[in-house]
Amino acid sequence: MEKNTSSNEYIVIKAQEDGVSVIGLTRGSDTRFHHSEKLDEGEVMIAQFTEHTSAIKIRGHAKISTAYGEVESEKKS
């Protein structure tokens, strides 16, 4: 079982268009992409911050729900 260093909270990402990317960035002094997940419209990903993941980048139009509130990412115009 992977250790979770920050919290047990999840974030919920719901794609509002095809091809939304959910990108996990590594924890620690070296910050790089370690995983990229593609979501099509209507698909949902539920993710946590973990020992390996300190930041999550979302590209494309999606609704993001967190313990801090809701935000919508927009597609590049």
- Residues forming the site for ligand TRP (CB under 6 A): 2, 22, 24, 35, 37, 47-48, 50, 52-53, 56
Residue 17 or residue 37: which is nearer to ligand TRP going by CB?
A: 37
In which element (H, E) is residue 62 found? Answer: strand 62-66
Measured between alpha carbons, how far is residue 57 from residues 1, 2, 12, 67 in Å?
Answer: 24, 21, 13, 17
Q: Which residue is nearest to ligand TRP (CB)?
A: 24
CA distances from 70 to 6, 27, 54 (A): 20, 24, 19
Helix (H, G, I), strand (E, B) or coil at 33: strand
Least separation in angstroms between residue 66's CB and ligand TRP is 13
Q: Least separation, in Å, of the C-beta of 13 and ligand TRP?
A: 9
C-beta of 3 vs 76, nearer to ligand TRP: 3
Which of 56, 62 has the CB closer to ligand TRP?
Answer: 56
